[in-house]
A and B are shown apart, each in its own frame.
Chain A
Amino acid sequence: MSAPALDFEALVTRGKDGSFRLEAAIEGMTCAACIGDIESALRNLPGLIAARVNYTNRRLSLEWRESAFELAGVFERLRRMGYRLHPFELASGERAEEEASKRLLRCLAIAAFAAMNIMLLSAAVWIGEDTDIDPATRDMFHGLSALIALPAAAFAGQPFFESAFNALRARRLNMDVPISLGVVLALAMSVNETLTHAPRAYFDSAIMLLAFLLLGRYLDAAMRRKTRGVAANLAALRAPLACRLGADSRETMVAAAALRRGDRVLARPGEVLPADGVVTARVSTLDEGIVTGETARRPVSRGERVYAGSLNHDGALTLEVEAAGAGTLLGEIERLLEKATSARSRYVRLADRVSRFYAPVVHLAALATALFWLWRGASIHDALVTAISVLIVTCPCALALAVPAVQVVASGALFRGGVLLNAADALERLAQIDTVVFDKTGTLTSPHPCVVNARDFDSEIVECAASLARASSHPLAQAVARARPDAPLLADATEERGQGVRALIDGAEARLGSPGFCGLEEEVAHLGALAPDVSLVAFRHGARHALFQLRQTLRCDAAQTLAALARRGLAMEILSGDRAEAVESVAKALDVANWRGGLKPAEKVARIEALRAAGHKVLMVGDGLNDAPALASAHASMSPIDATQFTQAAAAAVFLGDRLAPVLATVETSVEARRVMRQNLALSAIYNLFAVPLAMLGLLTPLIAAAAMSGSSLLVTLNALRTGKQARGFGEGAP
């Protein structure tokens, strides 16, 4: 079979010089040697200007000129080497974030350079105070400091000035207003002091303040960019390529996002349907677990409506895409999602809450200080100097680091453990929850079916069957293969689409597939009635035969995780779209008293709203498309990575792997992180409690101010580092 043509027109960006660029996530890159393999494999393709692997975020960027270059060649070459490319469009948000983070790093470099050099000059002046520094030398040092500080502040202070200006224009106060005011006033006052040959200047304090604040912001931005990048890769891996049929039945692979209404799409067995649509040819059965939560499979035939995310089991289907229109399931869910998300965005983050209260207090304190000294008969100059030192010393170096530092450490630890935080406020929300609501299908149960009766058969038979199953792409066959992951691969197995696989083993033909394919209908009749979510896979090798029963089982650590969550005092509930009997047996096995089955997406949302109205903060854990609105309306939400794209976008955190333990670890880490955040805020409050009275009394020299500021920042950062230890324990063994 020749490779179908590729069409990624929508994802290709054009450079100024007439070149084209495409970014793709690489699947299957496991070690550093792959960098060389991939790049040298692509080195001599005609028309290709550059192919560079980014090992940090597992992406390949391709640059070529139109002439003679075939994108399909790249895909085919890498596919034969065992890598799969998933092209994607850089979300505009991600690119903007990258730019913002680079800008912060540039500002930080300049501020740090200026701060270090000014500190050298200032230290000389401070020491000089004891050893009778020559006033001319001192003035020269102050002048030099001004020459470094003014341009540096004008450049590095921009992020703060802009944000403060925007806030003021919207008639609000944010943290950047006192920062900008303090920096500008301190610089202006210092210039005045330098010109009047006064003994003190505050260039060092102002620039050091900027440097520390920029450090906090850069760390925060870098952490978010990293998670965002991984999430974008995963989304690209999940976004399936669709096989579009042209007017002449030519097959073209396109990104599922590029499908338009009216396109005809071919879905092979074992593939996930790329779009909502109507079946126009052939019959098959669909596993719609991820869409509705229903575990029994649905047979579909011509004229029936099917939904994106369903897994195609038996036959190759041709669909006519019908993604547009509010009547489709996607449209419905999108509408619910929007409503739920807007309800949640009213939440105010801890740091903002503190600063909302803090900023006016700082301004009032500075103003009160100036007025007090004027009233006591001090000169305007002295009163202003004192007021500025109050502004500088309260400027929340420690406060600005208190929350981001903890977030960086905690999310870094979670990241290593396979949990990606999607939302900036995820940690704070997760720390507050008191109720956990689980979806059943794909969340409590493992996302793939498992063989449940492997022990009934000879281990040799199971191994034979697993070897055979490895040759097939059918989802049920893959489940059999997972029963013995180390079974040898058979070289000469042939697959008959929709039937099964066969191969010669020890001179006899072995078959794996539907009972009819293996001639085992009689044995199936003997089994009698099975539960509706059990699937059968038959195996025959000569006289030996087996009927494997497959069904979705609980994740291996579901019981322990739920027990541990219950021990933490969290209430537990199961809301599922599956049949009530199926939900009941799971709820009994996990010892959960509250459960509901057969729920529609809107009913799940209603239940969560009811819990919220009763004053509960709900963590929703779910994976199905039908869970997305519930995830968005819960206080916090988590989703396994196997979930649909919609669900990943709605969840505050996503976790990797086959275990449920990350949910517990995330809750524990968030609670710990919140505790350390509060400690940090308390630490910086205590620092202010000591420093502000000193500043108000006019006793604060620049040296003390600088030392106190760095000291408190250091303390807060060190305290934040403790958060990581907690989460480190569960990280082992995660990808």
Chain B
Amino acid sequence: MTVLLFLVPLALALGFVGLMGFLWSLKSGQYDDLDGAAQRVLSDDDIEEEGR
């Protein structure tokens, strides 16, 4: 059962990375404007500028 000794910590570490990611996204305001974020991804104004 020694496999548990690194599998369990590994699983926990991965979960912890996910949690930290969520907390970071919350802190950086990514949940403040959910509708806007969904619409902004469709905006293609920036492409025009690059093409010039």
Chain A residues near B (Cβ < 8 Å): 32-33, 35-36, 40, 53-57, 102, 105-106, 109-110, 113, 116-117, 120-121, 134, 137, 140, 144, 148
Residues of B within 8 A of A113 (CB): 15-16, 18-19
Q: Evaluate whether A55 and B33 lie within 8 angstroms (CB atoms) in the complex, with A113-B15, A134-B1, A148-B12 already known.
A: yes
Residues of A within 8 A of B15 (CB): 113, 116-117
Q: Which residue of A lies closest to B37 (CB)?
A: A55
CA distance A189 to B33 in the complex (A): 43
Residues of A within 8 A of B19 (CB): 109-110, 113
CA distance A54 to B35 in the complex (A): 8
In the complex, the answer to whether A137 meets B4 with C-beta atoms within 8 Å is: yes
Residues of A within 8 A of B33 (CB): 54-57
In the complex, the answer to whether B36 meets A35 with C-beta atoms within 8 Å is: yes
CA distance A12 to B22 in the complex (A): 32
In the complex, the answer to whether A140 meets B45 with C-beta atoms within 8 Å is: no
CA distance A117 to B14 in the complex (A): 11
Residues of B within 8 A of A106 (CB): 23, 26
Residues of B within 8 A of A110 (CB): 19
Residues of A within 8 A of B39 (CB): 32, 35, 55
Q: Which residue of B lies closest to A55 (CB)?
A: B36
Residues of A within 8 A of B52 (CB): none
Question: Residue-by-residue, is B34-46 near A (CB-CB < 8 Å gives 1, otherwise 0)?
Answer: 1110011011010
CA distance A35 to B40 in the complex (A): 8
Closest 7 CB pairs of A and B: A55-B36, A32-B39, A56-B35, A54-B33, A113-B19, A56-B33, A36-B43
- Could you list some 24 contacts between A and B, CB below 8 A? A32-B36, A32-B40, A32-B42, A33-B43, A35-B39, A36-B40, A36-B43, A36-B45, A54-B33, A56-B34, A57-B33, A105-B26, A106-B23, A109-B19, A109-B22, A110-B19, A113-B16, A113-B19, A116-B15, A117-B11, A117-B12, A137-B1, A144-B12, A148-B12
In the complex, how many angstroms separate the beta carbon of A652 from the nearest chain B beta carbon? 27
CA distance A134 to B1 in the complex (A): 10
CA distance A54 to B43 in the complex (A): 15
Interface residue from B23, B32, B42, B45 paired with A109 (Cβ < 8 Å): B23
Residues of B within 8 A of A137 (CB): 1, 4
CA distance A144 to B7 in the complex (A): 13
CA distance A110 to B19 in the complex (A): 7
| Most central of A54, A55, A106 by chain B CB within 10 Å | A55
Interface residue from A56, A116, A120, A140 paired with B36 (Cβ < 8 Å): A56
CA distance A121 to B15 in the complex (A): 14
Residues of A within 8 A of B23 (CB): 106, 109
In the complex, the answer to whether A54 meets B36 with C-beta atoms within 8 Å is: yes
Residues of B within 8 A of A33 (CB): 43
CA distance A53 to B35 in the complex (A): 11
Q: Which residue of A lies closest to B19 (CB)?
A: A113
CA distance A105 to B32 in the complex (A): 12
In the complex, the answer to whether B26 meets A102 with C-beta atoms within 8 Å is: yes
CA distance A102 to B27 in the complex (A): 9
Residues of A within 8 A of B42 (CB): 32
Residues of A within 8 A of B26 (CB): 102, 105-106, 109
CA distance A32 to B39 in the complex (A): 6
CA distance A53 to B39 in the complex (A): 12
| Most central of B11, B34, B36, B42 by chain A CB within 10 Å | B36
Known: A53-B36, A56-B34, A137-B1. 8 other contacts (CB 8 A): A33-B43, A35-B39, A35-B40, A56-B33, A113-B16, A117-B11, A121-B8, A144-B12
In the complex, how many angstroms separate the beta carbon of B51 from the nearest chain A beta carbon? 16
In the complex, how many angstroms separate the beta carbon of A176 from the nearest chain B beta carbon? 24
In the complex, the answer to whether A40 meets B45 with C-beta atoms within 8 Å is: yes
CA distance A40 to B49 in the complex (A): 12
CA distance A36 to B44 in the complex (A): 9
Residues of A within 8 A of B34 (CB): 56
